[in-house]
Structure 1
Amino acid sequence: MRSCSSVPRTYSGMGESVEGSRLNRAAGWGRLLPWGRGKAAMGDESPRRFIPFMDTGLMPFSSRGVPSMSRPNYRHELASSLCLSWAVAVTEGTVVGVIVKNAFEGVVSEMMLNFAVATVAAAPSVANIISFAWVRLAHGRPKVPFITSLQISMLVLVAGLALIPRSSLGLHLLVLSVVVSRVCYAGVQTLRSTVWASNYPTRERARLTGRLTTVQSEFVAVSGLLIGLCMEWDARSYHALTPLLALVGMLGVWRFSKIRVRQHRRLIALEQQAELLDRPSFNPAAMMRVLTGDRGFAGFMLCQMLLGMGNLMMSPILTVLLKDRFGMGYEGVLVNHTIPLITLPLFIPMWARLLDRVHIVWFRAIHSWSFVLAIGVHLVAALEADLWLLYAGAVLKGIAFAGGALAWSLGHLDFAPAERSSQYMGVHVTLTGVRGLLAPVLGMQIYVMMEASYPGRGSWVFAVALGFTVLGAVGFGVLGQAMSNRRGGLGKPEGPVG
Structure 2
Amino acid sequence: MTVFFANRVPPKARDAYRKDTISGMLGAVMLGLTAPFIAVIARKVLHASAVEIAILSMAPVAGNLFSLLWANIMEGRRKMPFAVWSWIAARSIFFLTAFARSSGLFVGMISAYYFIASIASPAYSAIMKEVYPDGDRARIMGYARVCTIGVYVLITAVASSLLGGDNYRIVFPIAGLFGIASVFSFARIHSVDNSGDSSVSLARFVRDGLLILRDDPGFRWFCAGIFIFGFANFMAQPAQTIYAVEIGVDTRWAGLYSILSASVMIVAYFYWGAYTDRRRPEAVVALQAGCWAAIPLNYVVATEPWMLIPTALISGVLGAGIELSYFTGVLHFAPPDRITQYQAVFLSLMAIRGMIAPFLGAVLQKPELFGEKGVFIVAAALILVSVVVQVIGMRKYTSLVSS
TM-score normalised to structure 2 length: 0.92
Deviation of 1:64 after TM superposition, in Å, equals: 1.4
Q: What is the 5 A alignment of 1:137-286?
A: 137-165=73-101, 170-232=102-164, 235-261=165-191, 264=192, 267-268=193-194, 270-272=195-197, 276=200, 285-286=207-208
Closer, same or farther: CA 150–440 of 1 in aligned 2, 3 Å: same
Q: Give the match for residue 67 of structure 1.
A: 10
Closer, same or farther: CA 98–188 of 1 in aligned 2, 3 Å: same
Amino acid in the other structure paired with 2:237: S
Q: 184-193 or 75-84: which moved more?
A: 184-193
| Whole-angstrom CA distance in 1 between matches of 2:229 and 2:369 | 28
Deviation of 1:79 after TM superposition, in Å, equals: 0.5
Q: What is the 5 A alignment of 1:380-391?
A: 380-381=301-302, 385-391=303-309
1:77 aligns with 2:77: no
1:313 to 213, 219, 235: 235
1:460 to 374, 392, 399: 374
Q: What is the 5 A alignment of 1:394-473?
A: 394-448=312-366, 451-452=367-368, 457-473=371-387
1:86 to 29, 39, 42: 29
Whether the aligned pair in 2 keeps the contact of 1:218 and 1:345 (CA below 8 Å) is yes
Amino acid in the other structure paired with 2:378: V
Deviation of 1:95 after TM superposition, in Å, equals: 2.5
Q: Which secondary structure does the structure 2 equivalent of 1:315 belong to?
A: helix
1:296 aligns with 2:239: no
Q: Which secondary structure does the structure 2 equivalent of 1:259 belong to?
A: coil
Q: Give the match for residue 101 of structure 1.
A: 43
Whether the aligned pair in 1 keeps the contact of 2:273 and 2:324 (CA below 8 Å) is yes
Closer, same or farther: CA 481–335 of 1 in aligned 2, 3 Å: farther
**Structure with more helix by fraction:** 2
| Whole-angstrom CA distance in 2 between matches of 1:408 and 1:251 | 27
Q: Percent identity?
A: 21
Amino acid in the other structure paired with 1:74: Y
Deviation of 1:452 after TM superposition, in Å, equals: 4.0
Whether the aligned pair in 2 keeps the contact of 1:280 and 1:286 (CA below 8 Å) is no
Gaps of 5+ in 1: 1-58, 106-111
Task: String of CA shifts for 1:97-144, please: whole Å, max 9, x gaps.
Answer: 111011113xxxxxx622212211221122222222321222222111
Whether the aligned pair in 2 keeps the contact of 1:357 and 1:492 (CA below 8 Å) is no
| Whole-angstrom CA distance in 2 between matches of 1:95 and 1:287 | 36
Whether the aligned pair in 1 keeps the contact of 2:61 and 2:115 (CA below 8 Å) is no
Q: Give the match for residue 278 of structure 2.
A: 357
Closer, same or farther: CA 196–364 of 1 in aligned 2, 3 Å: same
Whether the aligned pair in 1 keeps the contact of 2:77 and 2:198 (CA below 8 Å) is no
Closer, same or farther: CA 349–460 of 1 in aligned 2, 3 Å: same
Amino acid in the other structure paired with 1:75: R
Q: 332-341 or 424-433: which moved more?
A: 332-341
Closer, same or farther: CA 177–298 of 1 in aligned 2, 3 Å: same
Closer, same or farther: CA 131–213 of 1 in aligned 2, 3 Å: farther
Gaps of 5+ in 2: none
Q: 243-252 or 472-481: which moved more?
A: 243-252
| Whole-angstrom CA distance in 2 between matches of 1:89 and 1:215 | 13
Whether the aligned pair in 1 keeps the contact of 2:288 and 2:321 (CA below 8 Å) is yes
| Whole-angstrom CA distance in 2 between matches of 1:282 and 1:308 | 28
| Whole-angstrom CA distance in 1 between matches of 2:79 and 2:206 | 23
| Whole-angstrom CA distance in 1 between matches of 2:77 and 2:42 | 38
Q: Give the match for residue 126 of structure 1.
A: 62
Deviation of 1:258 after TM superposition, in Å, equals: 0.8
| Whole-angstrom CA distance in 2 between matches of 1:408 and 1:463 | 25
Q: Give the match for residue 12 of structure 1.
A: none
| Whole-angstrom CA distance in 2 between matches of 1:151 and 1:129 | 17
| Whole-angstrom CA distance in 2 between matches of 1:69 and 1:461 | 49
| Whole-angstrom CA distance in 2 between matches of 1:213 and 1:493 | 28
Deviation of 1:461 after TM superposition, in Å, equals: 1.0
Q: Which secondary structure does the structure 2 equivalent of 1:271 belong to?
A: coil
Amino acid in the other structure paired with 2:174: L
Q: Of the two, which has the highest radius of gyration?
A: 1
Q: Which secondary structure does the structure 2 equivalent of 1:272 belong to?
A: coil
Whether the aligned pair in 1 keeps the contact of 2:236 and 2:379 (CA below 8 Å) is yes
